[in-house]
Structure 1
Amino acid sequence: MVLLTIILPICLVLMTSLILIGLKRAFQQTPGTTTSFQNISIIIPFKNEQENIPDLLNALKRLDYPSDKYEVIFVDDNSSDDSTKFLNQNLMDNYKVVLASDKKYPGKKGVIDEGIQNALFDIIAITDADCEPESHWLKSISEKISDRNDIVFGYSPFKEEKTLINKISSFENFRNFILYFSSVGLGIPYSATSRSIAFRKNIYMKLNGYSNTLETLSGDDDLFIREAVKQKLKIATFRYGNDLVYSKASKSFRDYFKRKSRHLKTSHHYLLKHQILLALWHSVNIFSLYSIVFISLSEWFLLSSVVKMVLDLTIVQKVKSKLSHNFKCYEVIFLQPVYETFLIINFINSIFRKDKWK
């Protein structure tokens, strides 16, 4: 029993050190070595996004990138609202709308594929209709993908609101991206987000599109990364300035749990080495979090909880400014246990909930 109370803190310290090393390497990967403006096709899949499209269009207008060097392809997956009508009334010269009437793949993957097939340019950048890219987003992609990288992805935080579900979602997203970025820095990438990802067309073709990622309807990002890892492709992150892609968090706990179960379902199909590493990381953290429950058996269990709290605060304090957050210490003390607990709930939900995009 005493041995366990000593092993847990040691494991936490070692793993946290690796996370911080990975993050340092990931952030050191930027900036890229070229300042040329590459031709980029932005693919934006959507379905019934009339509410979000005006904000997206305003954000796209603020992109600091030559208009003749990029195009925007909106791909409509049979929307039943006036999304497409609104877009057609507000199209710029380098924008177009494509209907995903004959999808090769089910769900969102088929919509993205339809956009790629209609893209004029070699570099494909993907985001979502409820997102708002910052002005230097395309610049960062152009620089980073020019630096001999096959796939690049950036950080996509949630827009902050004064609600509990927003705080929980934002912190969870932040903690997940710490792992995404760190894994790239350590040379073991396993996931990304389609809210801010880019690759070349020939890479997409080399991976046979999404043909090998059809275990779930989701997975257009992390299972795509899985296939890239199999092919030993070079994956990198970018984080300069003004290149974030803001998205909207769930408005309710019901929507949150629905969204998270869909996302976590893809984790069942990660490469075995990634499943083992993630299981080890989360298990040690969760056991350390709840070890205080066993303090009646041994006072040494308090050590694991204290060490975990200190390490959690250390990671957040070191990284939050780089990812444009300002979590207070008291918020971390509350949000970290919620994050760990919801991981368990969401993982269980991902096993039993049915998978669908919209």
Structure 2
Amino acid sequence: MVFWHYLLPFIFFTAIVVQLAYILGIFSRLLSHNDIEPESEPESEQKTKPSVSVVVAAWNELENLKELLPLLEAQQYPNFEIIVADDRSVDGTYDYLLFNEGGYKKVNFVRIESLPSHFTAKKYAVTMGIKKASKEIILLTDADCRPTSEFWIDTMVAQMTQSKDVVLGFSPYQFENSRLNSLIRYETFQTAIQYLSFALAKMPYMGIGRNLMYRRELFWVTNGFASHHGLLGGDDDLFVNEASNNENVAICIDANAHTISVPKKTWGDWVTQKRRHLSVGKRYKLRDKISLGLLAASHLICWLWFLPAFFVKPDWFEAPEWSRIPTYLLDDNNLQDFYLYNDWMRLITFVFFFWLFIRWIVLAKANKKLNSTISSWRIPYYDMLYAGYYLIFGLVTIFTNPKKIKWR
């Protein structure tokens, strides 16, 4: 037991320190970040803005395309096109696009009739869409996403300065009144905090295909999805993980540049989706696997080790005199044997809630930066559930073969 008197506190305090380092050293960078404002140029000078191809991969997404394409057509940007990669759809998508039933002026499409045996569907569709594209910058989104404003393209492009090749956008899920939806939105918020903040710290490791921009040349120079074409996931995060470096990634958090997504409706569908997303993490760079592993492990330990550390009662601990409970109070209540115990319990409680308070404040301010996509006052509650998410999906990911993950 003496061994645990040292080990448990050491693990707990180490996790607290690691967490505070991430919160104050990395996550806090998002609080002071401001996007570059799009330039308001005279119409005659707008031709200087880079050209953009918005690429949408679609498999039986006719109804979603009928809603999305008009929003894309209405974008206030001087030089862009919309490329729909129709992935073997059988719901009328091909005829809708072929006969241009929406009367679109900027929409073009590529029809995929069959899938090569060595390629997964989404990656092949995106590749064919990029191959069809004629503009210098690729902007990706999904058919079930909706840009929040007509300035989505313009705001994303404004972040693509001369030194940047990739822009990471934000895509929250729409609100629904259910516990699953709340957890999905909180997990999405946490993921966004991580990849956006790490990018600001010059350690970019992923992006999301629902709102992702990069130079078309970068796609071909890095051989696209060649290194992971057989995996279901990774058309966004694995590509960014391979193509990014310390200097070539920017972020865009302006509310005008968000794309709202439709969340999963059932726990089963969400679990399947998360298994697919998380399974490709094994293919990240070693640096990213270590940094993300430390982040997840320390967060989990802060929650799970609190009670064991609380009750460990180490005999080596002695509180400073100024912080101790007056002896007469213990004597009067015959609690002399619990003096050390009470001091230790108060220390652990203070350290835990200090960490939780700092985390809450930083995340609440980050939430405000991201247009308040979750309820800030509920952050501690969902943060506790998020620790369970780390535990469950962490174990699932460790014992899952990415090549055996199914789409549905």
Verify same fold: TM over 0.5. Answer: yes
Per-residue CA deviations over 1:61-84 (Å, capped at 9, x if unaligned) read 442223xx1111111111232333
Of 98, 106, 121 in structure 2, the residue corresponding to residue 94 of structure 1 is 106
1:20 maps to 27
- 2:306 maps to which residue? 292
Letter in 2 for 1:355: I
Structure 2: distance between partners of 1:267 and 1:91: 42
Deviations 1:239-271 (A, max 9, x none): 234111111111111111000000001111111
Equivalent-residue separation in structure 1 for 2:66 and 2:349 (angstroms): 51
SS at match of 1:73: strand
Q: Shift of residue 215 of structure 1?
A: 5.7
In structure 2, what is the equivalent of residue 262 of structure 1?
276
- Gap change, CA 1:158 and 1:328, over 3 Å in 2: closer
Q: Which amino acid aligns with 1:291?
A: W
1-structure distance, mates of 2:94, 2:350: 57
In 2 relative to 1, CA 233–329 (structure 1 residues): closer, same or farther, beyond 3 Å? closer
Q: 1:85 to 1:356 in 2, by over 3 A?
A: farther
Task: Decide whether the 8 Å contact of 2:189 with 2:373 is kept in 1.
Answer: no
Deviation of 1:28 (Å)? 3.9
Matches within 5 A, 1:192-207: 192-207=207-222
CA distance in 2, matches of 1:44, 1:192: 16
- 1:305 aligned to 352, 358, 362, which one? 352
1:352 aligns with 2:384: no
Per-residue deviation, 1:56: 1.4
> Unaligned 5+ residue runs, structure 1?
none
Deviation at 1:102, TM superposition (A): 5.2
**Shift, 1:288, TM fit:** 0.3
Q: Determine the structure 1 residue equivalent to 2:260.
A: 246
Please say if residues 286 and 340 of structure 1, whose CA atoms lie closer than 8 Å, have aligned partners that are also in contact: yes
Q: Is the 8 A contact 1:150 1:233 kept in 2?
A: no
What is the TM-score when the length of structure 2 is the normalising length? 0.80
Q: Deviations over 1:305-351 (max 9, x none)?
A: 32342133112211112111253354212211112211222233344
Q: 1:149 to 1:184 in 2, by over 3 A?
A: same
1:71 aligns with 2:81: yes
SS of the residue 1:96 aligns to? strand
Q: Partner of 1:99: helix, strand, or coil?
A: strand
1:83 maps to 2:97? no
TM-score by length of 1: 0.91
Aligned to 2:332: none
Instruction: For 1:203 and 1:195, locate their aligned partners in 2 and report how far apart those are by CA, in whole Å.
Output: 19
Q: 1:347 to 1:4 in 2, by over 3 A?
A: closer
Mapping of residues 118-137 of structure 1, within 5 Å = 118-134=132-148, 135-137=150-152
Q: What pairs with 1:1-358 in structure 2 (closer than 5 Å)?
A: 1=6, 2-24=9-31, 27-28=33-34, 30-31=36-37, 36=46, 37-66=49-78, 69-87=79-97, 88-101=100-113, 105-134=119-148, 135-214=150-229, 216-229=231-244, 234-294=248-308, 295-298=310-313, 299=345, 300-325=347-372, 327-350=374-397, 351-352=399-400, 354-357=404-407
Three-state SS of the structure 2 residue aligned to 1:145 is: coil
SS of the aligned residue for 1:218 comes to: coil
- CA deviation after TM superposition for structure 1 residue 272, in Å: 0.7
Paired with 2:168 and 2:247, the residues of 1 have a C-alpha distance of 14
Moved more, 204-213 or 101-110: 101-110
Q: CA RMSD in A?
A: 2.3
C-alpha contact 1:152 1:237 (8 A) present in aligned 2: yes
SS in 1 for 2:57: strand
Q: SS of the residue aligned with 2:213?
A: strand
Residue 48 of structure 1: how far off its partner (Å): 1.7
Max Rg structure: 2
Whether the 8 Å contact between 1:45 and 1:129 is mirrored in structure 2 is: yes
Amino acid at match of 1:144: Q
Tell me if structure 1 keeps the 8 A contact 2:83–2:110. Answer: yes
Q: 1:283 deviation in Å?
A: 0.7
Identity of aligned residues (%): 24
Q: Is the 8 A contact 1:76 1:97 kept in 2?
A: yes
CA contact (8 A) 1:48 1:79 kept: yes
